[in-house]
Chain A
Amino acid sequence: MSVSPANEGGRWRALSILGMKVGKLIATVAITFLGLLVVTFLIGRVVPVDPVLAVVGDRASKSTYDAAYIALGLDKPLYHQFFIYLQQALSGDLGTSVLTKKPIVEDIARVFPATLELATAGIILGTLFGVPLGVWGAVRQGKLPDQVIRVVGLIGYSAPIFWLGLLGLLVFYAKLNWVAGPGRIDIAYEYSVTQKTGLLLIDTAMHGQWGAFRNVLAHLALPATLLGYFSMAYISRMTRSFMLAELGQEYIIAARVKGVAEWRIIWIHALRNAAVPLVTVIALSYAGLLEGSVLTETVFAWPGLGQYLTNSLQNADMNAVLGGTLVIGIIFVGLNLLSDLLYTVLDPRVRRRT
């Protein structure tokens, strides 16, 4: 049977709507990106530090100073300066770090894998523990497991992460010696690991360097557990409330009437539906871990983006600070977008509404 013309028209309409939606999405991302650049640009302008002095030093002659002033484009009007900044940022040039004398982009590419490894380990732990805990709490609403989640959540929301990190180091490293101390890897192994991905766990496993692998794991254990705990607090709480909403639905009653086993109802029927909004929550807490890493990395001397940012801050290296801020902003926007897209893919109801 051939497709009827009416149906054909419907398909075209659906396609054009989808096209419009994608176009709108791209426009939104572009505007947000532009906004991020405006914010970092403006922050860069209000700095009391004279950007020319940072380049030429405070003993430069008047003519050198003036030359640098013009070379930096500071004689041009503000909107022109922003245009130059925009052009540079779009071509992947975020300026040079005063501290390391290297391009910011290069610096960030070097330190980012460390943060990525830590945050990923954290989110895996947080999801592995948070989701079952949340489901358990929803099933036993008001009983002991539910109270446990509440307490876990409250501690997670209230305790300063850097303080828990310090206590963790004191107890598990200094007193009990269960885990390795600050840093990513012992100095003894530092130069023996062939870095390919920058993720040390994968690098060492790929080359069969199991001694180094165990050492990396011992270093990773405490900070990853800590970040995992903070994301678990959020994930378990949200899982609980999503599951409660699902368990009250009529299809659950229908399944019970049909005689479906209780574990199947909980883990297959209900959790599958709760999983859709949960993806967004997990993506958001992944992004949140990148933020939490600033403090965690400082405590654990973890050579990642967070420590790079704080180091640059303490040395008034504005280019590096703004570059790092921009990169984290972009990752944040990207993860948000990704969770939106996943939402559409996972939930047929959202898809049909296009």
Chain B
Amino acid sequence: MSALSTRDWLLSDRPASRRQARLGQAYRTWSHLRANKLAMVGLGIVVVLILMAIFANIIAPYDPIRGGDLRTERLLPPSWAHLMGTDDQARDIFSRIVHGSRLTLMVVALVAVIATPIGLAVGTTAGYFGGWVDTVLMRITDIFLAFPRLILALAFVAALGPGIENAIIAIAITSWPPYARLARAETLTIRDADYIAAIRLQGAGSTRIIWGHVVPLCLSSVIVRVTLDMAGIILTAAGLGFLGLGAQPPQPEWGAMIAAGRRFMIDFWWVATMPGIAIFVVSLGFNLLGDGLRDVLDPKGET
């Protein structure tokens, strides 16, 4: 075989192995995505967030929990020493925001990890079996959809007690219904396909068919949907934090930081403004990335 460039190998229309085909597909998706400038900005923001979370100890110049001298370093305006100023406990706001990225990322990741499998399981089961299983599962889904998300999350947190873990559970419980609906719709289109019938004739059980052959096909649209929802998850978590029901002080959670800065908003604007900018930029990033991914992976989606 003559010297093939990596790109030719990836874009070959006759992949020699399954791995080559998969990598080629990923490469095509990536080059589509790369053409979308806004999506790239979004991706950049998300990557920066992740790096910030990993290297928080190196990036943050001060301790996020222990403040400086309470007599001289409280509520200082932004300067070179304190990029975003200090708060009422003489803590450096920039350092707190950097460390807060860990909490934000943790919330997003855990909610996605908890809610996606629930949605997939409910949706594919309902779609695959149909009949009364479908009716019962979809009724339950509709009931969860009948509550506004933030309100239901509030009620759950009220019951479980405030705290970041409970906020994550509450948000996950309120997040899965749309994924279930989506997975069900996808399942309905593939459950009567010939290859499913072929697997069934080979003697595969329902569980095996669903998790081995239906779920993988629903995965990409559900993942796009989860990415699109991530901004919403961040905003809900920040909202819970703002109401005092999410992360508890002195944890550097962005929503809770806004709530803490609210009392002296008029004289010391930066205390509440800076964490708000952080939330805004990060959810903007996830929104841009999600929009771009939807355009690439799901051409049926809205314009």
Contacts and interface: CB of A to CB of B under 8 A. Distances in A.
A63 interface: no
A103 to B, nearest CB: 19
Contacts of A316: 158
Contacts of A241: 302-303
B94 interface: no
Nearest to A242: B302
Contact of A310 (B159, B243, B284): B243
Q: Is the interface of A mostly helix, strand, loop or mixed?
A: helix
A313 to B, nearest CB: 5
A7 interface: no
B263 to A, nearest CB: 11
Contact of B303 (A158, A244, A314): A244
Given A159-B280, A163-B272, A170-B265, A35 B140 contact: yes
A294 B154 contact: yes
B142 A32 contact: yes
Contacts of B258: 160, 162-163, 166
B235 A44 contact: no
Interface in A286-302: 287-288, 290-291, 294-295, 298-299
Interface stretch (A52-60, A188-196, A250-258, A321-329): A321-329
Given A44-B159, A170-B269, A295-B239, 18 more contacts: A32-B142, A35-B142, A36-B146, A47-B158, A158-B231, A159-B280, A160-B276, A163-B272, A169-B265, A174-B266, A287-B148, A294-B154, A309-B151, A310-B243, A321-B154, A325-B152, A325-B155, A332-B146
Interface in A140-178: 154-155, 157-164, 166-167, 169-170, 174
B43 interface: no
Interface of B: 139-140, 142-144, 146-152, 154-161, 231, 235, 238-239, 242-245, 255, 258, 262, 265-266, 269, 272-273, 276, 279-280, 283-284, 287-288, 302-303
A162 B242 contact: yes
Nearest to B140: A35
B154 A313 contact: yes
Interface in A21-65: 31-32, 35-36, 38-40, 43-44, 46-48
Nearest to B261: A166
A35 B151 contact: no
B280 A48 contact: no
Contacts of B243: 294-295, 298, 310, 313-314
Nearest to A42: B159
A158 B231 CA distance: 7
Contacts of B146: 32, 35-36, 329, 332-333, 336
22 contacts: A32-B143, A32-B146, A35-B143, A43-B155, A43-B156, A43-B158, A155-B284, A158-B287, A160-B235, A160-B239, A160-B258, A162-B242, A163-B276, A163-B280, A170-B265, A294-B151, A294-B239, A295-B239, A310-B243, A313-B157, A316-B158, A325-B155
A318 interface: yes
B245 A313 contact: yes
Contacts, number: 140
B276 to A, nearest CB: 3
Given A35-B143, A167-B273, A313-B158, A291 B303 contact: no
A328 B151 contact: yes
B266 A170 contact: yes
Given A163-B279, A166-B272, A174-B266, A318 B159 contact: yes
B120 to A, nearest CB: 22
Contacts of A161: 239
A291 B174 CA distance: 14
B155 A40 contact: yes
B276 A167 contact: yes
A288 B147 contact: no
Nearest to A305: B151
Nearest to B283: A158
B245 to A, nearest CB: 7
Given A166-B262, A241-B303, A321 B158 contact: yes
Contacts of B158: 43, 47, 313, 316, 318, 321
Given A294-B154, A313-B243, A328-B151, A160 B255 contact: yes
Given A166-B272, A321-B154, A329-B147, A154 B159 contact: no
A12 to B, nearest CB: 29
B13 to A, nearest CB: 33
B88 to A, nearest CB: 16
